[in-house]
Amino acid sequence: MEIPPKSPDGSEKSPQSKELMTSNTASTLCISSRSESVWTSASRSKWDIYHKPVIVMSVGAAVFLFGMVITSLSCIQIKNKNVYKMCGPAFLSLGLMLLVCGLVWIPIIRKKQKQRQKSQFLQSLKSFFFNR
Q: Give the residue from 129, 103, 96 showing the smallest Cα distance to 50.
A: 103
In a domain, 34, yes or no: no
The answer to whether position 114 is within a domain reads no
**Structural domain contains residue 18:** no
Q: For residue 74, is it within any domain? A: no
Going by the DSSP 8-state scheme, the letter that residue 9 receives in this structure is T
Per-residue confidence (pLDDT) for residue 126, from 0 to 100: 77
How many domains is the chain partitioned into structurally? 1
Q: Supply the pLDDT for residue 124.
A: 80
Q: Check residue 30 and give its pLDDT.
A: 46
Q: Is residue 97 part of a domain?
A: yes
User: Would residue 84 count as lying in a domain?
Assistant: yes
What's residue 80's pLDDT?
Answer: 78
Looking at residue 73, its pLDDT comes to 86
Tell whether 91 is covered by a domain: yes
Supply the pLDDT for residue 129. Answer: 78
The pLDDT value given to residue 132: 64
CB 91 within 8 A of CB 126: no
At 28-56, the pLDDT tens digits run: 444 444 444 444 556 788 888 889 999 99
pLDDT value, residue 29: 46
Residue among 46, 23, 27 at smallest CA distance from 35: 27
The CA distance from 27 to 34, in Å, is: 11
| Alpha helical stretches, state H, 1-80 | 15-39, 46-75
- The pLDDT, as a whole number, for residue 34 is 46
Asked, for residue 41, whether it belongs to a domain, the answer is no
Number of residues written out for the chain: 132
Number of Cβ atoms within 10 Å of the Cβ of 103: 13
Ranges of residues in the chain with a pLDDT under 70 are 1-42, 132
Which pTM value belongs to this model? 0.58
Supply the pLDDT for residue 96: 96
Name the residue range of residue 93's domain.
79-104
What secondary structure, in 3-state letters, does 64-126 show? HHHHHHHHHHHHCCCCCHHHHHHHHHHHHHHHHHHHHHHHHHHHHHHHHHHHHHHHHHHHHHH
